[in-house]
Amino acid sequence: MSYYLAKTVSKDFDTTVADVTARLKEQGFGVLTDIDVQATFKTKLGVDSPKYRILGACNPRLAFEALKAEERLGVLLPCNVIVRETPDHRVEVAGVDPVASLERTGNPALRATAEQVRELLSAAIARVGESH
């Protein structure tokens, strides 16, 4: 089982980040964090790297349900979605597979919620790059 869901698009990087954010919103997610990995590496290490953003996505209703079943689950939240520039100058969007991630808890009560989150994240990622 893969630990992520992914799609590569031919759109430019910044347009793709905005599209990912909009597609996540359509599925009930908000972006709680936005980490610019490229800028961090440049500032902290003085190195150049490809464009790379980590978006921390959260569906509040499903996070609430999951935290009721597993109170320490916050260590695995939010669901990270990356937007990264590939070596061939395309843009990949990838999100954590919540089912694979939440299996690590050993709590079967989380399975149904994890499957719902996977379905919603998959739908958001699948629509990236499509016309609105």
pLDDT (tens digit per residue) in 1-49: 589 999 999 999 999 999 999 999 999 999 999 999 999 999 999 999 9
User: Once rounded to an integer, what is the mean pLDDT over residues 51-64?
Assistant: 97
Q: With respect to residue 36, please indicate whether it lies within any of the assigned structural domains.
A: yes
pLDDT (tens digit per residue) in 66-96: 999 999 999 999 999 999 999 999 999 999 9
**How would residue 54 be classed by pLDDT, with cut points 50, 70 and 90?**
very high
Q: With respect to residue 45, please indicate whether it lies within any of the assigned structural domains.
A: yes
Residue in the structure block whose two tokens are 């089912």: 99
Q: What angle do CA 20, 126, 77 make, to 5 degrees?
A: 55
Helix H or strand E segment including 116? helix 111-127
Using an 8 Å Cβ cutoff, are 37 and 13 in contact?
A: no
pTM of the model: 0.94
Q: With respect to residue 132, please indicate whether it lies within any of the assigned structural domains.
A: no
Q: With respect to residue 64, please indicate whether it lies within any of the assigned structural domains.
A: yes
Q: With respect to residue 66, please indicate whether it lies within any of the assigned structural domains.
A: yes
Q: With respect to residue 51, please indicate whether it lies within any of the assigned structural domains.
A: yes
User: Once rounded to an integer, what is the mean pLDDT over residues 90-104?
Assistant: 95
Q: With respect to residue 99, please indicate whether it lies within any of the assigned structural domains.
A: yes
**What's residue 132's pLDDT?**
72
Q: With respect to residue 58, please indicate whether it lies within any of the assigned structural domains.
A: yes
**What's residue 1's pLDDT?**
58
CATH (domain of 97): 3.30.310.70
Q: Which residues 6+ apart lie within 8 Å of 75 measured at CB? A: none
Closest CA to 57 of 27, 73, 41, 81: 81
The dihedral sign for the CA sequence 36, 41, 44, 47 = negative
User: Domain residues for 96?
Assistant: 4-127
Structural domains in the chain (count): 1
Tell me how far CA of residue 105 lies from CA of 19, 66, 94, in angstroms.
32, 11, 22
Query: Residue 50: is its pLDDT beyond 80?
Result: yes
